[in-house]
Structure 1
Amino acid sequence: MTGGSERPVTVATAQYPIEAFADFAGFRAKAARWVQDATSRGAELLVFPEYGAMELASMLPEAERGDLQAQLHCLQPWREAFVETWRELAVRHGATILAPSLPWRLDDGRFVNRAWLFGPDGRAGHQDKQVMTRFENDDWGVVEGDGLRVFDTPAGRLGVLICYDSEFPLLARALVEAGAELLLVPSCTDTEAGYQRVRLSAQARAIEQQVAVIHSPTVGEALWSPAVDINIGRAGVFTPCDHGFPPDGVLTLAADATPGWQLARLDLARIRALREHGQVNNHADWALQHPRLAPGIATHPLG
């Protein structure tokens, strides 16, 4: 995917419920409804959450559906149809879409958490999660994937930090130094504390890197699933706290957990300009912190 835009772009971030389906056609119909809803309101970039594709597991027999390990293997036969579903929707609606992430089996048998990004021309790329949570490591057996990527799209130059990845500033910095001007943060959290960690980290990344950040969470209950049974979050779009943007950096944030879209108009050129003319120079001043870090820190007694 290539491109980029100097004009404002309408973005949509999903507050997405995990639902159950009788067959794959039901899943395709839901995906089509959601994309139609966002693009009919002018959205050019659509962001779906982490592990939103786990709703495919609702079609499994009860024994596999309730087994964490069995789910991983049983989801794999649907993955090509899953990819084609989102590719077709991106082309049909002329949009750039970050699809819901799903466990993806590698050739060596390991499973990663993979999010696919589709352009309006049908081309695609993927980003694997980099840092795994305790649940993924200890209980589920989902592991870190290959490295970070930056994608050139008609909506801008994008980087993806999947949920927990957003809590690590150096990952965001690596993407920004590679040219990313917009960070997408799909998430899946089952507590208010987990949601707040991701949201506040997303806002911190927007401030310190002087970029826009789009956060899309799963919401609601899917008690049939041992992986995504409880989902807590609110979708939001965040910017630096500086000239021409909200003082709190919150461009939009859902008021409650009702499923649906949050839309915002992003002017990436104005955000880039903050790096030259902003009240502060977080992006440029990043390097100033390094000489002040350990091992150069000394301990001194009081007095």
Structure 2
Amino acid sequence: MSRFTVAAAQYPIDRLGSWADYVAKLERWVGEAAAGGAALAVFPEYGAMELAALDPATMGDLAGSLASVAALAPQVDALHAALAARHGIHLLAATMPVHLGGMHYVNRARLFAPNGRMGWQDKLVMTRFEREQWHVAAGGPLHLFQTALGPIGVTICYDSEFPLLARALVEAGAEILLVPSCTDSLQGYWRVRIGAQARALEGQMIAIQAPTVGKAAWSPAVDVNRGAAGVYGPPDGDFPTDGVIAAGVEGAPQWLFAEIDLAALGAVRQTGAVRGVAHWPEQPGAAPLPPVRPIDLR
């Protein structure tokens, strides 16, 4: 499948009253993505932190919110697996903290295929907030997901601002880069957006950014959320002159839909006006790249 529709969420953080409320919300959102024809739907970074509202005793505490949300990981994953299978769609679940023992938490995205398979990607470079206040640790390694839609990589929010991570995924075969994000300022949003667009340019790939939006004053972790979803490609060949395939309205809860064509991407890599992927090693000081572990979700 070279041409298909993708959906990127501009996802609001809601103060949920129960697990049933969360299930209903996810069912509605995934149902809308599928009804829009999406073969791939992307949720944002830390969207799962709205689940902290289910434990009023800890939801206002950073450490407590990590623990309460992480404890729900098996249920959250089972819900996404069921929705992916029900709708025949690939789902990148909103990232959530995963407890690895002791005080060690990582920020993890999980990609669910409609055939029941799942792979995960941890964030590798942590922001100051994660390091200094929340104490969420870096994880890894990089994974390349082989899917029925094509080879997919994930760089979570800040990770998209570091070109060697995406380059390692490109050299492993990635054609689509998923960029779930969570930023509390427009400056933060633009840093991630510019990073995603730069990765699409230099990697001659499709980058899909999905942010959290809105305010959640009850949460010390995701209280303010600014951003817009975007689908970006290389500004070459049959792609838009600015590389922006689609862009959402900042701050509005919505799905952003776009049709992407991996055959057009392949043509750009082979016969485009420039060949950034092929010419990367010619730049002085091109650094050794981190290893990438393949995961087969087909």
| Secondary structure of the corresponding residue to residue 75 of structure 1 | helix
Percent pairwise identity: 52
Other-structure match for 1:172: 166
**One-letter identity of the residue aligned with 1:136:** E
What are the equivalent positions in structure 2 for 1:197-208 lying under 5 Å apart?
197-208=191-202
More strand by share: 2
Aligned mate of 1:25, from 14, 17, 20:
20
Tell me whether 1:272 sits opposite 2:249 in the alignment: no
What are the equivalent positions in structure 2 for 1:27-46 lying under 5 Å apart?
27-46=22-41
For 1:128-167, what per-residue CA distance to the aligned partner results, in whole angstroms no more than 9, with x for missing partners? 0000000000000100012100001122110000000000
Task: Tell which structure's C-alpha radius of gyration is larger.
Answer: 1
Please, what is the CA RMSD of the aligned residues?
Answer: 1.2
| Secondary structure of the corresponding residue to residue 273 of structure 2 | coil
| Gap runs ≥5 in structure 1 | 294-303
What are the equivalent positions in structure 2 for 1:1-303 lying under 5 Å apart?
5=1, 7-61=2-56, 63-290=57-284
| Secondary structure of the corresponding residue to residue 100 of structure 1 | strand
| Secondary structure of the corresponding residue to residue 210 of structure 2 | strand
Question: Partners in 2 of 1:90 and 1:291 — Cα distance?
Answer: 43
Q: Is the 8 A contact 1:96 1:154 kept in 2?
A: no
Other-structure match for 1:298: none
Q: Is the 8 A contact 1:119 1:153 kept in 2?
A: yes
Q: Which moved more, 1:283-292 or 1:147-156?
A: 283-292
For 1:214-256, what per-residue CA distance to the aligned partner results, in whole angstroms no more than 9, with x for missing partners? 0000000011000000000000000000011100000000133
Q: Is the 8 A contact 1:190 1:230 kept in 2?
A: yes
Question: Partners in 2 of 1:13 and 1:255 — Cα distance?
Answer: 12
Other-structure match for 2:295: none
Question: Partners in 1 of 2:137 and 2:181 — Cα distance?
Answer: 16
Q: CA deviation at 1:107?
A: 3.5
Q: CA deviation at 1:77?
A: 2.5
Question: Partners in 1 of 2:285 and 2:63 — Cα distance?
Answer: 46
| Gap runs ≥5 in structure 2 | 288-298
Q: CA deviation at 1:275?
A: 1.1
**One-letter identity of the residue aligned with 2:236:** D
Question: Partners in 2 of 1:292 and 1:11 — Cα distance?
Answer: 32
Other-structure match for 2:296: none
**One-letter identity of the residue aligned with 2:54:** M
Question: Partners in 2 of 1:185 and 1:100 — Cα distance?
Answer: 11
Q: Which contiguous aligned blocks of 4+ residues in structure 1 show a shift greater than 6 angstroms? A: none
**One-letter identity of the residue aligned with 1:226:** P
Distance 1:292 1:114, change over 3 A: closer
Give the TM-score of the pair, scaled to structure 2: 0.94
Question: Partners in 1 of 2:8 and 2:268 — Cα distance?
Answer: 24
